[in-house]
A and B are shown apart, each in its own frame.
Chain A
Amino acid sequence: MAKREYSYYPGCSSQKGASSSNLMKSVDTMCEELDIQLNEIPDWNCCSASIGYASGSELPRLTLSARNIALSEEHNKNQEIVATCAACWLATKEAAERLKEDESMFAEANQALAEAGLKLQNNTPIKHMAEVIIEDIGLEQIRAGVKKPLEGIKIAGYVGCQTNRPFGIAGESFENPMYLDNLVGSLGADACTTYEKKVQCCGGALAFSEPEKSQEMIKGIIEAAYDNEADMIATPCPLCQANVEIYQDQINERFGTKFNIPVVYYSQLISVAYGRSASDAALDGQLIAAKKLEDIASK
């Protein structure tokens, strides 16, 4: 496979000391297998996600993302920016688009950036890692590299909101995107194509501030996976993963359910299907062990 290089905006899930992060570790493994080189944007800052708005208003927020793009344009010249976190991707891409549409805002952002000695050109494409897999590499190629098909695993593909809206993957529908199911299928697993909660919101950051209301939604997301006879849920989004996995005990307590379903990343699926170990795929990072994946990894 031809080597691909991207400018990488890791976001907060990649910071050192986070070696236990199953997203980051499995993305690294996946990128080794797919011959992708990620060049971290030097000294990147947080984009403030979708929650910063309440304290940091429009221009400050746009400027935060503008700084990352400007740093990328200066240090990782001519490389597309790739993010693995849905919120990072959305905030960065949204800022780029907004500053393209609005010239005076663009000028203001550059005025603020000058305080940090930076200048934004704003001509860098901002991609989600899922776009790299689906569009740049393509599922044909992905399928061709599978060493251990994920046979006998039924997977509910949970795309969530922000990987899917408002930008999503070109050519996919917002209400019923198929790429995650197709990816699952090309790895040899069995996709629950009628998983009706695939784009249901989990509450996002409100899972922290409005736990009761959010957990009611998360309950529906998990219940539907069981109804579709899924063995596990797979997602591209770090916050989805956390929200759907960690509150299962709480939800069980609150609603008298007996949930105990693993929630994994697409990058973990690819890592295992490409023959890597459970630890390379960061399966030891699950709160609820993904036994069926572990079994295939150790075969």
Chain B
Amino acid sequence: MSETNKAMIEQYRNSFLSEVEANVEEGEWVKMCMQCGVCSGSCPLGKHWAHPPQEIFMMIRAGKRDEVLTSDSMWMCTSCYNCVVRCPRQLPITHIMHGLATYAKKLGLAPKNQPTARFAEIFWNNMMKKGRVNELKLGLSLYFKDGFGAGIKESLRNKDLGMKMMKAKRMAASEFFGGHGVKDIGGVQKMIQKAQEIEDARMKKFD
């Protein structure tokens, strides 16, 4: 295709789709969606999604930038990969959902106090301190034998879950993270910083 033709096509293209293609993980796949709806029927927490994946893809093509990026929906993705193994067009839906959530957060458009966004941030920040998450204490089987389990149980006993639960978790999390870490933590941190720089440098500006 000649450069002029390409430019003509770009011009008619909805810019939010271009933006997603450029800046969202696996975003170039969005246009491959054929709107069959299989993914939407696959999300375990589907009834809580205001816009299930199929609809999100449609909205991206319709240029509904704010509605998509401020949506709570993709934060309900449990990374179960049901959609991925079922999609007849083999879209990496899980990663697109993650990518949209990450991108929205980067732009400051993610819903405030979204519990999964906050949990993810605690998780990541703590991991970056030592290079490892003490997931045993965070979430895996036998941390119940020590104090952390009691902490979680305490917060669970609280009928008012939701944000209170989140708060308790954050306290518990920061209290119990650590102990084990990567020896070359300096190297890990430099490596991640570099990776972030490289990625940021290839982001395109839209608005």
Contacts and interface: CB of A to CB of B under 8 A. Distances in A.
- 3 smallest A-B Cβ distances: which pairs? A116-B187, A54-B120, A12-B135
A109 B166 CA distance: 34
B192 A60 contact: yes
From DSSP, what is the main secondary structure of chain B's interface residues?
A: helix
B50 to A, nearest CB: 14
B51 interface: no
Of A166, A209, A250, most buried by chain B (CB within 10 Å of CB) is: A209
A246 B81 contact: no
Interface stretch (A13-21, A31-39, A144-152, A183-191): A13-21
Contact of B131 (A46, A60, A211, A239): A46
B79 A111 contact: no
Contacts of A138: none
B141 A242 contact: yes
Interface in A1-33: 11-13, 15-18, 20-23
A201 B198 contact: no
B35 interface: no
A50 interface: yes
A200 B44 contact: yes
Given A201-B44, A208-B119, A48 B142 contact: no
A14 to B, nearest CB: 8
B184 to A, nearest CB: 6
Given A112-B195, A161-B79, A241-B140, 19 more contacts: A21-B142, A22-B141, A46-B127, A48-B123, A51-B120, A53-B99, A54-B98, A55-B125, A57-B99, A59-B196, A112-B198, A118-B187, A161-B78, A165-B85, A200-B44, A211-B161, A217-B44, A246-B144, A250-B156
B116 interface: yes
A200 B193 CA distance: 37
A242 B145 contact: no
Contacts of B98: 53-54
Contact of B81 (A54, A64, A161): A161
B116 A54 contact: yes
Contact of A21 (B80, B124, B136): B136
A206 B45 contact: yes
Contact of B101 (A12, A53, A238): A53
Contacts of A246: 144, 152
Contacts of B86: 174
Interface residues of B, number: 70
B80 A161 contact: yes
Contact of A213 (B45, B85, B139, B195): B45
Interface residues on A, range: 35 or more
Contact of B192 (A16, A54, A64, A203): A64
Interface string B10-32: 00000000000000010000000
Contacts of A211: 156, 161-162, 165
Nearest to A62: B195
A220 to B, nearest CB: 10
B84 interface: yes
A195 B102 CA distance: 36
Contacts of A210: 45, 76, 115-116
Contacts of B205: none
Nearest to B159: A253
A22 B142 contact: yes
B191 A204 contact: no
Contacts of B139: 205, 207-208, 239, 242
Given A161-B80, A166-B81, A13 B187 contact: no
Contact of A204 (B79, B84, B144, B194): B79
Given A11-B135, A16-B180, A208-B119, A54 B187 contact: no
17 contacts: A12-B134, A12-B138, A43-B184, A46-B132, A52-B127, A54-B101, A55-B123, A58-B99, A60-B192, A161-B81, A165-B80, A201-B78, A203-B44, A205-B116, A210-B45, A210-B115, A245-B141
A206 B82 contact: no
B59 interface: no
